[in-house]
Structure 1
């Protein structure tokens, strides 16, 4: 797969006849000429938004320059004479409208829209200050130009939208509304309301049950299943639970339960309390495999004494797809070399390929689960830390320093892969859509990874390292012909875990 094929979504670079000396691409025009050569617009934008310790003078400054060996250096050390000082605040930054930096533009525009002094509102002053101080204030400018964002901000400025959850609840459901709400919660301008996914599930459940209000034979048992089984269970789940997957699973089971009860009522004129085993067998035999998701409904009614002891077999996988070890190792090499792909996407792909971490768990990893010391770097996926191969440490270090915390709406985010939604991590589906750029097959790749690792370590050790249950790892060990489920769990020494990477 070529680098051009691995480029992510977004506006493609314009082709032309001018060669950029930084990215080496042919472009329509050159933005500036600096001592290290011609610089295209994309490289200029990256350069004037990078800051840190200069590789030469060690001062913490804007780092637009490049040394002959590719080090990031400041303007003075690079000999760059382009004016990169904001004419309003005096900070080093890209000069935009009127010679002002993006942070000053955000402050000026939001002050004009939100009118924080008419009358004085400390919360609005804080919102303006927080948005202007993000690592990427230019992205705030882009967001403010969206019609949905403009309408919401104008309503706040006109004082027709109060800063309260009740006011936001009264608005028509929309992504833009939740985006702004979570931004206000993240910056402590609105109080938190617990896990946002649980809140969304409750709203979805109310709507779903409302669609059956005129059919009490369905509404009553579905409400018991939705509220007293799923909602109560979700509310008591431990903090480390992946609520994205938990709520999606609950929604699917409730949806399928509703379909089943509609089928009973429409086709057979039956309430769910009156069903027999032949009804279940018929329903499962004549429809798609998703109908098997009514199993928990039947089990729940049996346990609560609301139904008979009917057979409800769990859905079994028809096949266990696998890819080859060679293709997995080639994929790891491709990901490592894909310099033009966003680093966060590459880090997620590396973790998935090295450790077989489920996508849902991968999306919810926190930055503090990666630990570095004089002995190397590890990642905590289970009860024992797993070693990150030494050649990959610079990639992980770079992501921790610049990528994991750079989301403008997610400043100081604890997540390894933050969402564009303030305070949230990326969803499993969104992360997998990013990984599709590497043409990975989710189940086949995960099975192959666990198959390969099962040939290197016993199931108990892998369970501790990867966070899977011992039963799961024993099954993979049996598949790999390495039945060692009774071996004691021991922490492997460095260098024993993961494929050799050179």
Structure 2
């Protein structure tokens, strides 16, 4: 649709390419895109006067955006009707209902005598027309084809699944905005223009930033690239970024340490359990300590083979207990005779020290279950933390499939080997969350076979990825909840009421972990009983020695 004709040697412009010229608005005095910019009275959009009238649909006094057969409608009702096509009472087709029959039933424009049917000029889909008489899906398809076109003017067969994935998003207008301003999609356009096949290795060449990770998730989710073993396979690219500014001998040591020791162990463990994000954090911590030790040795003008127990103890004493992660690196160097056999003190067993006050715990839980002004996902995350003390990694990986309804009508959550019965208020919240549409800013990308993979209860921004631990912490913090004290208080309550094997069975925790919590509770009670016994003996001894004691008698 041409909105500006060619003139004075300038080409004609369509609605997509036309930009309103900027001028000084004669009403507000600000420099803005203005109508009538070539006249002596330019006016910007906010200052454009539209007559106010009573909207036929919402009955409010608002500026009118359209006059339809059903009456004058404001901007809010205009967009609401166009974005929600429904069945016409006369032709039974799906159209925006811009008219109304005498019975009150909705009618489409042609059936109500209105010439505009709001049908896309390309695909015929009715509803809101995004640009030039086309729907947002057709505009998005054109943008993607331009984005994915290779040097030969064609889209490679490898990238065709992306067109299908984007054609099924819930909010195509949001996807159009991403095509214009997303660094990830700009990187994809750069890779498509090169004409080379896309691989994980070609993405690794761009580092491990957020835009690269988002693009990798999108390509894996759309089956353009094969799946990786979750976050752990991103560690090599992260290491190369760290080694970019370091001496060459650091890379000579760190690359085999990562590939032949850390990743080998991690992949072997993956055969018995799925990867979690904590594995990535653990590997980065071990690599980070090894890099820190190598830099410290360089600053001391010492070679790695000069590292002895005395030098190691000095390095350990200068930092926190996090430096004890160096034991993995020193085990590897000792096995290859790069260093001698060195001893690193083990991490001390941490005892829980911070707890959520019981006077605050239950009011917070009550608020999560009843306060409808809070976001639904935040209420569910906080309630699961307050009741069951689930760690963040377990929370973020919960899927809709783990929520089931039994034959008796009860709702259970499959976390451990036995389904966990949920109280009705929490079951209702989780059921609503599992069946709710995705948030507006997180368009649900579907895989080419039409199945959403995977269906996380708490989806993240990247396709096919759960919400990040940092996001969960911030949501809990918005309610005044800190993750660690909340988890400690919930586990103390469970360990004091149930045997260790029951807690492990329902929550999917290791039996040794639940046993430590039960023993911690028992030790606390044993210490209390011993203290009371000792206090009673002291009081009895003081009374026998003739020391006066205060005895409170009824009424005394």
Q: TM-score, normalised by structure 1?
A: 0.72
Match among 229, 252, 269 for residue 195 of structure 1: 229
More divergent stretch after superposition (370-379 vs 147-156): 147-156
User: Can you list the C-alpha shifts for 1:185-241, whole angstroms capped at 9, x where unaligned?
Assistant: 3222x2315224222102123344565544x4x555544543332121122222643
Written as runs of structure 1 = structure 2, the 5 A alignment for 1:47-58 is: none
Match among 500, 518, 521 for residue 480 of structure 1: 521
Written as runs of structure 1 = structure 2, the 5 A alignment for 1:19-168 is: 86-88=119-121, 89-91=123-125, 93-98=127-132, 100-114=134-148, 118-119=153-154, 121-146=156-181, 148=183, 151-152=186-187, 154-155=189-190, 159-165=193-199, 167-168=202-203
1:445 corresponding residue in structure 2: 486
2:508 corresponding residue in structure 1: 467
Q: Kindly tell me: are residues 131 and 147 of structure 1, through their superposed partners in 2, closer, same or farther at Cα, counting changes over 3 Å?
A: closer
Q: Kindly tell me: are residues 132 and 285 of structure 1, through their superposed partners in 2, closer, same or farther at Cα, counting changes over 3 Å?
A: same
* Number of residue equivalences: 439
Question: In structure 1, what is the Cα distance between the partners aligned to 2:348 and 2:61?
Answer: 54
By how many angstroms is 1:369 displaced?
Answer: 1.8
1:458 corresponding residue in structure 2: 499
Question: In structure 2, what is the Cα distance between the partners aligned to 1:471 and 1:483?
Answer: 18
Question: In structure 2, what is the Cα distance between the partners aligned to 1:47 and 1:343?
Answer: 26
SS across alignment from 1:468: coil
Match among 358, 369, 372 for residue 325 of structure 1: 358
User: Does structure 2 retain, via aligned residues, the 8 Å contact 1:103–1:137?
Assistant: yes
Written as runs of structure 1 = structure 2, the 5 A alignment for 1:294-373 is: 294-299=326-331, 307-308=340-341, 310-317=343-350, 320-373=353-406
1:176 corresponding residue in structure 2: 211
Question: In structure 1, what is the Cα distance between the partners aligned to 2:413 and 2:137?
Answer: 35
2:415 corresponding residue in structure 1: 381
Match among 241, 263, 279 for residue 311 of structure 2: 279
User: Does structure 2 retain, via aligned residues, the 8 Å contact 1:386–1:465?
Assistant: yes
By how many angstroms is 1:168 displaced?
Answer: 3.8
Root-mean-square deviation (CA, aligned residues, Å) is 4.4
By how many angstroms is 1:261 displaced?
Answer: 3.5
By how many angstroms is 1:393 displaced?
Answer: 2.4
Question: In structure 2, what is the Cα distance between the partners aligned to 1:262 and 1:475?
Answer: 39
2:424 corresponding residue in structure 1: 390
User: Can you list the C-alpha shifts for 1:473-497, whole angstroms capped at 9, x where unaligned?
Assistant: 122223334899xxxxxxxxxxxxx
By how many angstroms is 1:310 displaced?
Answer: 2.1
Runs of at least 5 residues in structure 1 that lack an aligned partner in the other structure: 1-25, 54-58, 65-74, 485-502
SS across alignment from 1:236: helix
Question: In structure 1, what is the Cα distance between the partners aligned to 2:334 and 2:157?
Answer: 55
SS across alignment from 2:234: helix
Q: Kindly tell me: are residues 124 and 329 of structure 1, through their superposed partners in 2, closer, same or farther at Cα, counting changes over 3 Å?
A: same
By how many angstroms is 1:96 displaced?
Answer: 3.6
More divergent stretch after superposition (116-125 vs 463-472): 116-125
Matched, 1:291 2:332: no
User: Does structure 1 retain, via aligned residues, the 8 Å contact 2:83–2:128?
Assistant: yes
Q: Which has the higher contact order (CA 8 A, sep 6+)?
A: 1
Question: In structure 2, what is the Cα distance between the partners aligned to 1:445 and 1:122?
Answer: 50
SS across alignment from 1:378: strand
Q: Kindly tell me: are residues 298 and 247 of structure 1, through their superposed partners in 2, closer, same or farther at Cα, counting changes over 3 Å?
A: same
